[in-house]
Amino acid sequence: MKNRFKKIKWISLYLLIPFVILGCDDKETEKLNQNNNLIVFVMEILPTMVNYCPQAEFIVEKGTEYQIALQKDKSSWFQFSPNGNITPPEENRDYLLTVTKDSSTSISLRPWTSCKTFSSPSGSTMTPQSATPTEVIFKIEKDSVQFSETNRFRIELNSATQTTVKIIQN
């Protein structure tokens, strides 16, 4: 699948080259065509060729508990390990991330939208599946866990004071 995608990217690039090289008698039309082709290249083709993901500072293994020190406006990206998370396509199961915290702490889970575009972190945070004052459980989509281009998350501290939380992927 990955090799097929690479071939499609390069074929798309080679299909654009004649449009850029072929000229018109009218210099203004030629310049306009070159600018339009450049815009198409930058907006549609270049992002598919780039893998722009934030570096994951750690990888969460299924069933292992991690302690994360959180500070306001400073959080680390992490990703889920595929170990123990690869299921047959016909199997339907939930992927859960449990965050244990102090009752006065407020947190959010923010996903990275896509590594194949020049996107930034998602503008919205994920809605918890369930929450108590000391535990928040997030449902993670199967594709987010199994494919590296959508497998980036970070826990953000919404409270004012620095704290440590524990996370575990069930």
pLDDT surpassing 70 at residue 77? yes
Q: Is residue 98 very low, low, confident or very high in pLDDT (cuts 50, 70, 90)? A: very high
Task: Give pLDDT, residue 4.
Answer: 47
Predicted confidence at residue 94, as pLDDT, reads: 77
pTM: 0.65
Does the pLDDT of residue 119 top 80, yes or no?
no
DSSP letter string over 24-63?
-SSHHHHHHHHHHHHHHIIIIIHHHH----PPPSEEEPTT
Q: Give the C-alpha separation, 155 to 78, whole Å.
A: 9
Looking at the predicted structure, is the pLDDT value of residue 47 above 70? Answer: no
- Are 110 and 126 contacting, i.e. CB atoms less than 8 angstroms apart? yes
Closest CA to 120 of 72, 89, 154, 169: 154
- The b-or-e profile of 131-167 (16+ CB within 10 A means b, else e) is eeeeebebebebebbeeebbbbbbbbbeeeeebebeb
**In Å, how far from its chain's centre is CA 64?**
22
Q: Flag whether pLDDT at 117 surpasses 90.
A: no
More confident residue, 87 or 170: 170
Q: What pLDDT is attached to residue 152?
A: 85
